[in-house]
Structure 1
């Protein structure tokens, strides 16, 4: 049986952003629905494998309004985690893989043989497309405080409140909420760089994420207020990496962290824009 078809969906115009393609929060929303369906179809649950440690998404091709979406999901034991559930998002009319997600789990090692047997009908070797590239596969493990991050050059980039529409069946904030906060926060980081709004508008460029790794540290519930604290963590030839930290505002506890690989895209050619040396130098100076 191998991979299962876990989602048949569609890109609505209201899910697209200023770049006229599907916003990252809705990629995560669709992967979350595919995962719910996969669990129902297979009996996969956290009671068997523990809590999900990380969801690692790579974006391979744009999905635009009216695109058909199919997601296929399977279990992999040869990935970067002890056990991974892999979701492949495919454009339904062309068959092109547009995005991949790895959900990483660390079950008890003594249960490995049992899990292989239980999920052998939905096991595949992990696809090369899904393998992490721009950020490490490991879940976030630090214990930063907002105060320390800000002292070291990070900035507050967002504030929000968890509302009923952001909750899942377990009454916890979904990935989509966190990603919507991080998506909005990224623009405030970009604004501190030479690639600010004026530069983007003048050149008809857009802000794009290539890869995102979400690690939940502690849950959020209805009514929780949050702030996002973001920082630049690395600069490559044409890309740079942002780390977003989501804190619950009242208790100041860390709730989630997202590492994001970003670049600028020419909105006419739909191709990556090479990074000029002066821009790279300015980004390096902002790292903390």
Structure 2
């Protein structure tokens, strides 16, 4: 099968470790995002921003939003290679595509980031240098077809989010965590992959029974997988700060469910980040999607809440 040519800039390259895989036997979403954050650092170098992710950096790339499509699962030992390009660049922000492929060239996951060129004290955006603008022109690319949003509307503005609004919407508190120093970057802020990691760790508190029942009804061993997601990064907590995850089902389809997760500061009540995710349940033996019964879907529809990313 022919696959699209790689994007201009070589970024992350490595393979899947067994300990990075979850109960589904494939690379967990947290580690897809970890590779994307590595990719951003290599992308900074390609944009003539050397050492942009060291503590002494004067400027760096700060993710504002990310859209992700998970296209083909990555199993233990699988080689992975990422390339990137610049889809759009304005005065102080840019849209970057980071495309991670399997060894045969098939897409594994594809990330479209909106990033800001920011100083490293208050992390305020400021204009790109002329050198970086010229690099951006050299790395210009079209968004690959497999990166285009399929089931998530990116045109919707992010919601106003607070902890109290989550409680008022009857969203379930599914996670509580503490930011540790080893989870933080050189600037002392929580790394991007750990936002998703906190959600991934917490989702069983919302969906474990649903997945177990779906598996029993189909004679399968179930696990979950995200197929598409949108992340909105709002503030970056530091070591010692607390995290809560409040989540809810917002749509139940024939084979997929749509969830919205709000990651909040339980002490101040404001938002750290939010995520919309389209997910499915699959059989870990056959690797095929499990279709819940109409009765099971009806029960889930009774749990819908009004949340938006």
Give the drift of 1:77: 2.9
Which residue matches 2:3? none
Can you list the C-alpha shifts for 1:194-245, whole angstroms capped at 9, x where unaligned?
x243543652121111112111111100100111100112222311111111
For the pair 1:168 / 2:173, whether they are aligned, the reply is: no
Which residue matches 1:136? 153
What RMSD in Å do the two structures reach over aligned CA positions?
Answer: 2.7
CA distance in 1, matches of 2:105, 2:300: 37
CA distance in 1, matches of 2:60, 2:133: 12
Gaps of 5+ in 1: none
Cα–Cα, structure 1 residues 49 and 134, in superposed 2: closer, same or farther, change >3 Å?
farther
Counterpart pick for 1:237 among 254, 267, 290: 254
Give the drift of 1:83: 3.8
1:66-81 counterparts in 2 under 5 A? 66-77=77-88
Asked if the contact 2:99–2:109 (Cα under 8 Å) also holds between the matched residues in 1, the reply is yes
Cα–Cα, structure 1 residues 279 and 199, in superposed 2: closer, same or farther, change >3 Å?
closer
Which residue matches 1:200? 215
1:117-266 counterparts in 2 under 5 A? 117-138=134-155, 141-191=158-208, 195-197=210-212, 199-200=214-215, 203-266=220-283
Asked if the contact 2:46–2:135 (Cα under 8 Å) also holds between the matched residues in 1, the reply is no
Asked if the contact 2:7–2:99 (Cα under 8 Å) also holds between the matched residues in 1, the reply is no
For the pair 1:61 / 2:75, whether they are aligned, the reply is: no
Asked if the contact 2:44–2:61 (Cα under 8 Å) also holds between the matched residues in 1, the reply is no
CA distance in 2, matches of 1:278, 1:249: 36
Query: 273-282 vs 261-270, which deviates more?
Result: 273-282
Counterpart pick for 1:99 among 89, 92, 109: 109
CA distance in 2, matches of 1:140, 1:177: 23
Cα–Cα, structure 1 residues 34 and 115, in superposed 2: closer, same or farther, change >3 Å?
closer
CA distance in 2, matches of 1:181, 1:236: 25
Aligned residue-pair number: 280
Which residue matches 1:86? 97
Cα–Cα, structure 1 residues 119 and 148, in superposed 2: closer, same or farther, change >3 Å?
closer
Give the drift of 1:280: 2.0
Asked if the contact 1:15–1:22 (Cα under 8 Å) also holds between the matched residues in 2, the reply is yes
CA distance in 2, matches of 1:77, 1:179: 25
Asked if the contact 2:16–2:79 (Cα under 8 Å) also holds between the matched residues in 1, the reply is yes
Give the drift of 1:147: 2.6
Cα–Cα, structure 1 residues 2 and 150, in superposed 2: closer, same or farther, change >3 Å?
closer
For the pair 1:40 / 2:55, whether they are aligned, the reply is: no
Give the drift of 1:116: 6.5
Gaps of 5+ in 2: 1-5, 118-124
Asked if the contact 2:199–2:261 (Cα under 8 Å) also holds between the matched residues in 1, the reply is yes
